């Protein structure tokens, strides 16, 4: 049986494929930010549901498909912002 951590790890791998320019930062966030693991799990759940809906759409599920696309995009945006924020904090100031 899958654990929440397994689902979160699959979400991380999907994010690494979706956001290749941030792979290194995603790998650094994984062990150091507990809330990031929950975000990865949510991404896994949302993308799995979206994939299921797209592959086997039911009557009247077009709106639900669009809703899940929006959820996936929002989660991706949150991840990008976290990565950029972390990278900005890690860079030393370059002011004289």
**pLDDT surpasses 80 at 92:** no
Report helix angle 4-18 to 34-55, nearest 10: 80
pTM: 0.86
Whole-number mean pLDDT of the chain?
89
**pLDDT surpasses 90 at 26:** yes
Distance of CA 11 to the CA centre of its chain: 6
Query: pLDDT of 38-85, one tens digit each?
Result: 999 999 999 999 999 999 877 777 889 999 999 999 999 999 999 998
Residues whose CB is less than 8 angstroms from the CB of residue 53 and which lie 6 or more positions away in sequence, other chains included: 61, 64, 65, 68
Query: pLDDT of 6-22, one tens digit each?
Result: 999 999 999 999 999 99
b vs e for 18-57, b when ≥16 Cβ sit within 10 Å of the residue's Cβ? eeeebeebbebbbeeeeebbebbbbbbbbbebbeebeeee
């Amino acid at each position: 049986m899958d654990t929440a951590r397994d689902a979160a790890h699959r979400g991380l791998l999907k994010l690494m494929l979706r956001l290749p320019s941030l792979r290194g930062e995603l790998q650094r966030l994984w062990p150091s930010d507990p809330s990031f693991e929950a975000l990865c799990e949510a991404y896994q759940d949302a993308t799995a549901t979206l994939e299921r809906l797209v592959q086997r759409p039911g009557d009247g599920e077009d709106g639900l498909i669009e809703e899940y696309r929006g959820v996936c995009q929002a989660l991706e945006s949150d991840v990008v912002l976290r990565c950029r924020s972390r990278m900005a904090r890690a860079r030393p100031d370059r002011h004289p």
